[in-house]
Amino acid sequence: MSTTRHHLNRQRRLSAARTVRAETPPTRSAAPASTTAPGSLGTLPAPGAPGTEPEEAADARLRGESPQAEPPPEPGGTRSEAEAPQGEEPQSKSKSKSGSEPEEPGPEPGKPAAPTAAAPTRTPRLLLAVLGILTLLLGAFAGLGFSRSAALEDDPAGRNTALTDLARTSEVKGKAGELVGSLFSYDYADPDKAAEAAATLLTGKAVDQHRALLADVRAQAPKQKLVLTTTVTDSAVERIEGDRARVLVYADQAGVSTAGGPAKSKPKKQSGKDEQPDAKDGKDAAGSDSTEGGASYAGAVFTLDLLHKDGRWLVSGIDTFGS
């Protein structure tokens, strides 16, 4: 026990002597606080005489805690800090540490508790405190800044690039027009074309939605020799978020039936209804359907969800606002 301590102490003494040299001669502990403090505290702004005693007492108390906070394998000056608690029993043997005995009753203000050991620690303590507060403030600002910028970027308005990305917006609009033309047109003479469009341009729930919308058209087209052509007359991009987009479409559906005169307008309307039942109804009620030169026109309104997949835009959802 005593041998290891002795050994440790000698090491400390040696290292202290090496690093501390002139400032901390072996007899340093004997020197009064007032004489040593100025020497080692030269850079401290407030080493003023009035505050010295209580401050150092406080330091001594603080030092009691310091060994836990500070990394253990430290040579030199910090070692001298760490001595305070450890040095109680064994240091009394070593002559250079004889002064550390008074450290034991640290709280006593009257005795300058290892003033020389306290002196070098005060500068870093204050600095550490300042740095710590600075770190906390900067860290708090960083946290605030990141969260605010994330909030701003997460803002739904910012995520939606409709209109803000004009190239993408017009691409989506153009594609929506092409897709509507392909998917909602039907020629009784060439049903394979419509089938192919449905097979290649639809994905997800749009497959079933499209099938339901065109069911009647497919059923009636052969009988009525129906040619249905759907053209987008106006559209607006509601949202674009990455690979997904939603477009509001106003379309005209022109139906031409060559099966017979009187049957013309009715089947066409029906076919239109089948595609966009509510829109059709609305249009009928609004009187926006028209018949010109043997073809009937019906206005439709619906939204398309588009999905950009493998370099192509596909329809992933069709909403005709059906009730």
Partner 1 sequence: MTRPIAHPLLLAAVLLTLLAGSLAAWAGWSWYGAAHEDSGGYAAERDEVLAAGEQAVQNLNTLDHRRLSGGLDLWEQSTTGELHEQLVGGRADFEKQVEQAKTVTTARVLSGAVTELDDRAGKARVLIALRVTVRAPEGEPSDKDSRMVGELTRTAGDWKLSALGQAPVGDTATG
Backbone angles phi, psi at 94, to 5 degrees: -75, 135
Q: Which is nearer to partner 1, 2 or 290 (CB)?
A: 290
Q: What's the closest the beta carbon of residue 229 comes to partner 1, in angstroms?
A: 7
Q: Which is nearer to partner 1, 152 or 215 (CB)?
A: 152
Q: Which is nearer to partner 1, 102 or 259 (CB)?
A: 259
Q: What's the closest the beta carbon of residue 1 comes to partner 1, in angstroms?
A: 29
Long-range contacts of 91-99 (CB under 8 A, 24+ apart): 91/9, 93/2, 93/5, 93/6, 93/9, 94/6, 94/9, 94/10, 94/13, 95/26, 96/13, 96/16, 96/17, 96/26, 97/9, 97/12, 97/13, 97/29, 98/29, 99/28, 99/29, 99/30
Torsion of CA 303, 288, 253, 261, to 10 degrees: 160
Q: What's the closest the beta carbon of residue 266 comes to partner 1, in angstroms?
A: 17
**Alpha-carbon gap, residue 208 to 243, rounded angstroms:** 21
Q: What's the closest the beta carbon of residue 66 comes to partner 1, in angstroms?
A: 9
- Name the helix (H) or strand (E) containing 120: helix 115-154
Q: Which is nearer to partner 1, 26 or 124 (CB)?
A: 124
Q: Which is nearer to partner 1, 11 or 135 (CB)?
A: 135
Q: Which residue has the tokens 């860290």?
A: 139
Q: Which is nearer to partner 1, 75 or 109 (CB)?
A: 75
Find, among 275, 309, 299, 298, the residue nearest to 175 by Cα.
309
Q: Which is nearer to partner 1, 169 or 220 (CB)?
A: 169
Long-range contacts of 156-165 (CB under 8 A, 24+ apart): 159/241, 160/239, 160/240, 160/241, 161/240, 161/241, 162/237, 162/238, 162/239, 162/240, 162/245, 163/237, 165/240
Q: What's the closest the beta carbon of residue 240 comes to partner 1, in angstroms?
A: 11
What is residue 93's three-state secondary structure? Answer: coil
Q: Which is nearer to partner 1, 111 or 116 (CB)?
A: 116
Task: Please say whether the dihedral angle defined by the alpha carbons of residues 38, 40, 41 and 43, taken in this order, is positive or negative.
Answer: positive
Q: What's the closest the beta carbon of residue 33 comes to partner 1, in angstroms?
A: 18
Q: What's the closest the beta carbon of residue 119 comes to partner 1, in angstroms?
A: 10
